[in-house]
Amino acid sequence: MKLIFERSRPGVRCGLLPPCDVPKALPAAPLRSCPPRLPEVAEIDISRHYTALAKEAHGVNDGFYPLGSCTMKYNPRINEEMAALPGFTGLHPLQPVETIQGALEVLCMAERLLCEITGMDAMSFQPAAGAQGEFAGLLLIKAYHASRQDTVRKKILVPDAAHGTNPASAAMAGYDVVSIPSNERGCVDLDALRAAAGPDTAGLMLTNPNTVGLFDENILEITNIIHDAGGLCYYDGANLNAVMGIVRPGDMGFDVVHLNLHKTFSTPHGCGGPGAGPVGCRQFLAPFLPGEQAVEQGGGFTLEQSTASIGRVKLFYGNFLVVVRALSYLLSLGREGIPEAAQNAVLNANYLMTLLQDRFDIAFSKGVMHEFVITLEHEKKRTGVTAMDIAKAMLDYGIHPPTMYFPLIVHEALMVEPTETEGRAALDEAARILHEILDRAQSDPAALHSAPQTTCVGRPDEVGAARTPRLRYSFPAAQ
Ligand SMILES: *Cc1c(COP(=O)(O)O)cnc(C)c1O
């Protein structure tokens, strides 16, 4: 398709401004000598450009999107409507507090409900994404140890099944990362954890249910081992979808939690849109929370920053409209709907796994929660067809591929998370398609190596795109 620059025609405009009828006030010095080379297009050109782009992307509104660990569920429109209310979108973050009482109430209410769900005592909405929530949470742990003059704790323990952001955040916070192996059941190896925990342990980062979709049956023992060693426990709550309203990280023994509002609590994501990774903690860590906190005071609301705060990690109050969506989602589902959504997420994953497991190898199929991991290791040996080939073939059937080659502890992995918002028919259809693709893999493996056939781009050079991105348009020499 054409780039917006290629649609450009000299002199075409979106808006027609009347000629200027007042003297030009700007001095010449700061003015640029030639105008920027912006695309010159009419409003209809822009509209068609973005519509064409949207048609070449796959979103939750196009079809099944079982991208494991990412929780690509359907986001009800009511939450968008709430976030679009002019009373919210028209706010300026520097307005006096007496004029933003409603917005502060949103923050306080969302904090209260999400603390109730996580078993935490306080929460900051500053972090803009899960990874930033992790980073902020680790800074809380660091500030806590520093406040006790405990300066020898340099290590963060991270299970090998962890999301890649966990070791990255720990390293960014200045810690040494110690990888803890998983046992044969896909959970934390307790002996290895005991051996690693000690007076130099600052804390543990854990995802539960973990990235192979399992709830660690030793969770209380795990958090006890860390606490006995004087460390703190960090819960990666990006995948709270499986357990929200059912079990609470606080009751599992965790001290700090981050949530991904854009996964679990209804903000459209993917393609880098705004998210929110609020960080919650138990009371003894609350003074260290980043930035200003909205608090209820004397019948109204105000903002406060504790002197022990780790400081801002993001401007103002984070991505506020994402919090509005989350609150709208929480209030519309309510105390009954939240656990029901979690139960259906688990039911859907188990239903789809059951339809597949007679022919697909499931990495850890016992006690699967919201997602499961297929391993195509045998298929690759038998036919040469890889997880990548199967994932790419799914695109030709209008399904977004599952997460590929993750977690790293499973070879030829496809990590499938159907989410609760899919109906049974969609799951039946997905299972039928996967069986058909497997038939093709066995009868004509070569054909699958060149899938997909129906998309605008088949197999982009992903490494090249990430390492040497071309972000500037090169104008033809004549212009
Ligand atoms: C998605 C995810 C993250 C990171 O969240 P971002 O918002 O992408 O930064 C961290 N941990 C787990 C388990 C996740 O699934």
Predicted TM-score (pTM) of the model is 0.92
Distance 69 CA to ligand 1 centre (A): 8
Domain positions in the chain: 78-333, 335-463
Q: What average pLDDT score do residues 124-143 get?
A: 98
Cα–Cα distance for residue pair 48/2, rounded to 1 Å: 11
**pLDDT tens digits, residue range 200-223?**
999 999 999 998 999 999 999 999
Compute the distance from residue 276 Cα to the ligand 1 centre, in Å: 11
Residue 479 confidence (pLDDT): 47
Is pLDDT above 70 for 478? no
Q: Of 5-14, 17-26, 237-246, 463-472, which gets the smallest average pLDDT? A: 17-26
Determine the pLDDT at residue 16. 83
Averaged pLDDT score across all residues of the chain: 95
Checking if the pLDDT of 308 tops 90, the result is yes
Q: Which atom of ligand 1 is nearest to the CA of 277?
A: 7
Smallest CA separation from ligand 1 atom 8, residue: 130
Read off the pLDDT of residues 273-292 as tens digits, 9 standing for 90 and up. 799 999 999 999 999 999 99
Lowest mean pLDDT among 250-259, 449-458, 470-479: 470-479
Q: What is the pLDDT of residue 158?
A: 98
Q: Which CATH class is domain 78-333?
A: alpha beta
Distance 130 CA to ligand 1 centre (A): 5
**Residue 328 CB–ligand 1 contact under 6 Å:** no
Tell me the mean pLDDT in the region 12-36: 86
Q: Is the pLDDT of residue 321 over 80?
A: yes
**Tens of pLDDT along 335-362?**
999 999 999 999 999 999 999 999 999 9
Average pLDDT over residues 315-340: 97
Which atom of ligand 1 lies nearest, measured to the CA of 134? 10
Specify the CATH superfamily of domain 335-463: Aspartate Aminotransferase, domain 1 (3.90.1150.10)
